[in-house]
Amino acid sequence: MDPKSAPHSRSRRDFLATTSLLAAAVAAPKTASGLTRDALSDADQPASAGTLRKIPIGVFDPALPNLSTDEMIDKFASWGVEAVEIGTGGYPNSTHCPVKDLLDDPAKARAWKKKFEDRNIQVATLSCHGNPVSPDPKIAERDAETFRRTVLLAERLGVSVIVGFSGCPGGGPTETVPNWITYRWPTEYGQMLDWQWKERVIPYWKQAAKFARDHGIHKIALEMHPNFVVYNPKTLLRLREAVGEEIGANCDLSHLFWQQCDAVEVIRMLGKQGAIFHAHMKDTTFYKNNLDRYGVLNFAFEKSDLSGASETFRAVGYGHSAGTWKEIMLAYMEVGYQGIFSVENEDPILSGEVGVERALYVLKNVRNEILGTT
């Protein structure tokens, strides 16, 4: 099947029509219950636009790996980007952040940050996604050290949020590769899952949270991601309850859409608990024919694999409508989310700068409509 002809895919014409006519597309947005907001009781009505925070719109820097730091800043400034999420190692790498140099020399750290500030761009978050509980001790120590150095750099730069993964251990003390367990039967899988949390995951994150707290960092935003023990809101809250309020969410809805989560309900639930520390803005599109045949555990990452895929990542607005993203952004504002909207582009069709620009276009227009600004 050609993904471009799939029922849930979006042509450029449809996309431009949607985003240029946002008012018509979202005139009566619905809540997760199916009621329009006009039908809600007075107590449930959202705050007026005048009381909503203008959440900065930023970009996660791995989307532009071939640009130097100065070139990236120039590009961001030309796009009107207001904030950045910067990789400091692990899976995001540290292309635009010389972590060792900035830790060794406070003057270099100030100069590096000033480059962004001079263009009115906030360095909002540092990201070090990795697997600090890997059963391979070399990987575990490498990624744990990357986390610690990221904490120290955040302390130096005055950055309050660190983003990462929870990690995934093996299924027992002798295993040598990670074992992602989501189903407790047969019983040995339940036993392995209990061992992972008790012996590896909770002890590590208690120690990591204390290290962060000791250095003035109180927001560790874990991305709910497949192949790691924290992969949905329930597992995130389990770790938060066991470790403490330093643990919160990087609420990347692209991973929750395919798990059939209601984005607005997730934001409300986590937001009421003050548990949303960061928000990746990335979409997911579904290819219905393949979804009906193969189910949701059939993800594709490369353009060449899309003909057999059930879903793939897309830039914001290319998987769900501008109306849906209006509901999502409004929900973040209503729960008092204090972070940024960080565009992460992993779109196999609109790669690199193109996908980032398209996402920024949607997000800025939707935010303007919510706030009644231009």
Q: Rounded CA gap, 114 and 123, in Å?
A: 10
Q: State the pTM of this model.
A: 0.88
pLDDT for position 25: 38
- Averaged pLDDT in 10-residue chunks for the chain of 374 residues: 41 42 38 37 49 96 97 98 98 98 98 98 98 98 98 98 98 97 97 98 98 98 98 98 98 98 98 98 98 97 97 98 98 98 97 97 98 86
DSSP string, 95-134: TT--HHHHHH-HHHHHHHHHHHHTTT-EEEEEE----TT-
User: What is the structure's pLDDT at 50?
Assistant: 65
Q: How many angstroms separate the CA atoms of 227 and 112, rounded?
A: 34
Burial of 223 (0-12, 13-18, 19+ CB in 10 A): buried
Residue with tokens 């914001």: 316
* Dist. CA 372–CA 374, nearest whole Å: 7
Task: Report the pLDDT value the prediction gives residue 194, as an integer from 0 to 100.
Answer: 98
CA distance 107 to 101: 10
Task: Give yes or no for a contact between 352 and 8, defined as CB atoms under 8 angstroms apart.
Answer: no
What is the CB neighbour count within 10 angstroms for residue 155? 16
Predicted confidence at residue 48, as pLDDT, reads 60
Peptide bond into 186 cis (omega under 30): yes
pLDDT of residue 373: 86
**Count helices and strands in the chain by DSSP H and E runs:** 14, 10
**Angstrom distance (rounded) from CA 128 to CA 109:** 18
What is residue 49's predicted lDDT score, i.e. its pLDDT? 63
